[in-house]
Amino acid sequence: MIAFGCRLMTMLGLMLIGLAPASAQGLHIAPRLVAESAEPAAGGATTLALVMKPAPTWHGYWKNPGDSGIETLIDWKLPDGVTAGELAYPVPHTLIVAGLMNYVYEGEYAQLIQLKLPAGLAPGTTLPIRGTAKWLACTKEICVPEKADIAIDLKVGDGRADAALAGDFARWRAAMPKPLGSEGRFAVKGETFRLAVPIPAKLDVADVYFFPLTDGAIDYAAPQAVSRNGDNLIVEVKAGGGAAGLNEVDGVLRIGRDNGLALSAKPGDVPAAGAPVTASSEGAGIGAGGVRTALLALGGAILGGLLLNVMPCVFPILSLKALSLARAGGDGRGARHEALAYAAGAVATCLALGGVLLALRAGGEAAGWAFQLQDPRVILLLLLLTAAIALNLAGLFELPAVAGGQALAAKGGTHGAFWTGALAAFIATPCTGPFMGAALGAALVLPAAAALAVFAGLGLGLALPFLALGFVPALRRRLPRPGPWMDRLRRILAIPMFLTALGLAWLLGQQAGVDGMTLGLSAALLTGFGLWWVGRRQATGRAAAWWPLAPAAAAALALMVAVPREPAVAAASQASEGALGAQPFSEEKLAALQAEGRPVFVYFTADWCLSCKVNEKVAIDRAEVAKAFADANVAVLVGDWTKGDAAIGRFLNQQGRSGVPLYLFYRPGRPVETLPQVLTPGTLTALTA
């Protein structure tokens, strides 16, 4: 009986282990435990990531959940001597539901845990890492407390990181707030909590929001006013109930999308508010200020849409369509219907594009729209589109919408008008994308409804001239009569379009180097061949004229994948290279320089680190230092941690630091010397004495 019981227990145990992944399917947030190194070294450490994937419309919570919610808790069952550190959370998002603030994650997010191993474990020993994780999963309507067993088996080894996960861990680390290093100050004045954070005046910040870890400091749902006064970033917000009695306020300051700084503030003087930083969309949703911002953005969008009409890619479509409307002659009713349909088409396309972008945003896509435009692959796509449009204008092939083939856009009447509007809006986007990135970025930080309104405004603006033509017969009568001159105009309009393509090629070259640009131009050439063939087939009136484009498109796609993603390194190092001729830091480079027997000065900096910038200005980038270093043949390496580079983060950790600044001096054959965090030129010149 006892034996049977034991066997039953074992079976149950096995079943439970076997069921663990299956039970995860009933959860609204699916957890997954992964380790950076599957074979951590004895006496060393590795990082675990608890990767949480909320189902659509569900969200999980930050350590301080805001007005309601619960942090993630893990009950560990670890082998003897193995210890797990606290959960590190990525920078959260704000979510206001019925006036209550929630600090949440709506897309996949990873919480990192430092796992320490005792010394003296025999290599090959299996380490079963087990735990029970508890968290709260919510939609805007309901909340469900969830719980799951998490497990991973590690083996004592050499501590090498798992190469397959390196990219993931780099991404997860980049989403973590970076320790600011210097201290903030806060003051409670009346009902206002005021926070000053030292941030270099030159650093661009956007979408600033202070997420407090200390409860009671601020009213979470209140809007935050952000301004800059010299090297101070000032956040003002309604104080929380317990603010007056606090001796320290910890939190995370978001300074850009998914980019935050962890800081601690002590009571002290907070300078007066300065120049306001672009309204953050957070706080009480669309408050009074938010409405104004949204209206302003909407007005701007309508104006922008209006401007799109004279863009080289839209103008021909519009003018040809307008002329066809003029042909309709006296039928005012038909003209009005067509104009309305055209407007609907333009607005619908803009809304659809906006919806896609918002969906990407909701999906937790780490990169914002502006960032997308820094992705060479996106630039390449735009290059191909503009080149294709230019070739079309030049007469290489005909688009059904413009030429009057049998496709949707050419169906006379309202249907045709709708699709022409849709086409105009679609074609307008690639032409303007690179130039409107900033404006669209602004639209995307607004709440979803307001952002969609901005996109709709863009479409409305685009349709305005056509609407005017449809509703004002006098305007229609003034249109020139259609004729062969229209074709000539179209050919001429090809020229600015080709120039746009040229500009994009240049951008691509900037971002992906000469190889990337060549790949891009090859793709454009292939597309050109494909389109030329299409044109030939169209000219001979064959059916299915478009199929030759398929192989060209496939080849272009393949090239797009091949374009190097990493932007040319030159740009990055140029920015941080000072008088010393510093080279970008890497551990290999450091080892190589040491092997040459040269003394090496290494410094780590970030654009958001004020003390780093001050040190660079007053001590590092100085002629006397440059001379002393040159005389002593000191090599200089600089690590730029602005974006939270994972390799640099690891190196900083190895030096026992969590952030920047860090100044190191390596003398040949001697242990590394860590320099003080406040430098003078004398400290540096003395190194070479």
Closest CA relative to residue 111, chosen from 173, 202, 159, 179: 173
User: Is position 136 an interface residue for another protein (rule: CB under 8 A)?
Assistant: yes
Judged by beta carbon, residue 73 or residue 672, the one nearer another protein is 73
User: Is position 404 an interface residue for another protein (rule: CB under 8 A)?
Assistant: no
Judged by beta carbon, residue 100 or residue 575, the one nearer another protein is 100
- Tell me the two tokens of residue 60: 């999980």
SS (H, E, C) 183-210: CEEEEEECCEEEEEEECCCCCCCCCCEE
> Exactly one of 81, 241, 276, 363 binds another protein (CB under 8 A); which one?
241
Judged by beta carbon, residue 143 or residue 353, the one nearer another protein is 143
Q: How far apart are CB 68 and another protein at their closest, in Å?
A: 4
Omega before 661 cis (within 30°)? Answer: yes
Q: At what angle do helices 413-445 and 448-471 cross, to 10 degrees?
A: 140
b/e sequence 407-428, b meaning 16+ C-beta within 10 Å: eebbeeebebbbbbbbbbbbbb
* Rounded-to-10 torsion of CA 217, 219, 220, 222: -140
Q: How far apart are CB 146 and another protein at their closest, in Å?
A: 9
> DSSP secondary structure string, 480-495?
PPPSTHHHHHHHHHHH
Write the interaction track for another protein spanning residues 54-73; mark x where CB under 8 A is met and - where it is not: -------------xxxx--x
Q: Please state, in angstroms and as integers, the Cα–Cα distance from residue 76 to each residue in 10, 63, 94, 110, following that order.
A: 21, 18, 29, 17
Distance of CA 252 to the CA centre of its chain: 18
> Exactly one of 55, 144, 495, 672 binds another protein (CB under 8 A); which one?
144
Judged by beta carbon, residue 244 or residue 495, the one nearer another protein is 244
> Exactly one of 230, 242, 268, 581 binds another protein (CB under 8 A); which one?
242
CB contact at 8 A, 86 and 658: no
User: Is position 80 an interface residue for another protein (rule: CB under 8 A)?
Assistant: no
Residue type, 424: A
Which window, 10-18, 130-138, 255-263, 405-413, contacts another protein (CB under 8 A)? Answer: 130-138
Which window, 142-150, 171-179, 498-506, 569-577, contacts another protein (CB under 8 A)? Answer: 142-150
Question: Could you tell me how many residues make up the chain?
Answer: 689
Residue type, 622: R
Which window, 92-100, 200-208, 270-278, 295-303, contacts another protein (CB under 8 A)? Answer: 92-100
User: Is position 142 an interface residue for another protein (rule: CB under 8 A)?
Assistant: yes
Judged by beta carbon, residue 150 or residue 523, the one nearer another protein is 150
User: Is position 246 an interface residue for another protein (rule: CB under 8 A)?
Assistant: no
> Exactly one of 2, 4, 124, 141 binds another protein (CB under 8 A); which one?
141
- Gap between the Cα atoms of 385 and 379, Å rounded: 10
Write the interaction track for another protein spanning residues 147-166; mark x where CB under 8 A is met and - where it is not: x-------------------
Write the interaction track for another protein spanning residues 557-596; mark x where CB under 8 A is met and - where it is not: ----------------------------------------
- The alpha helices in 102-147, defined as continuous H runs, are none
Distance of CA 121 to the CA centre of its chain: 42
> Exactly one of 46, 94, 102, 688 binds another protein (CB under 8 A); which one?
102
User: Is position 143 an interface residue for another protein (rule: CB under 8 A)?
Assistant: yes
Site for another protein in 214-233 (CB under 8 A): 215-216
- Interface with another protein (CB under 8 A), residue total 23
- Tell me the two tokens of residue 82: 């193995």
> Exactly one of 32, 63, 130, 134 binds another protein (CB under 8 A); which one?
134
Judged by beta carbon, residue 145 or residue 551, the one nearer another protein is 145
Q: How far apart are CB 70 and another protein at their closest, in Å?
A: 6
User: Is position 97 an interface residue for another protein (rule: CB under 8 A)?
Assistant: yes
Torsion sign (Cα): 494, 392, 524, 540: negative
- Bridge partners of residue 52, in order along the sequence: 31, 109
Judged by beta carbon, residue 138 or residue 531, the one nearer another protein is 138
Residues ≥6 apart with Cβ < 8 Å to 569: 584
User: How many separate helices (H) and strands (E) can be counted in the chain?
Assistant: 19, 24
User: Is position 98 an interface residue for another protein (rule: CB under 8 A)?
Assistant: yes
Q: How far apart are CB 298 and another protein at their closest, in Å?
A: 22
- Tell me the two tokens of residue 595: 């092997």
Closest CA relative to residue 585, chosen from 566, 571, 596, 600: 600
Contact residues: another protein, CB under 8 A:
67-70, 73, 97-100, 102, 134, 136, 138, 141-145, 147, 215-216, 241-242
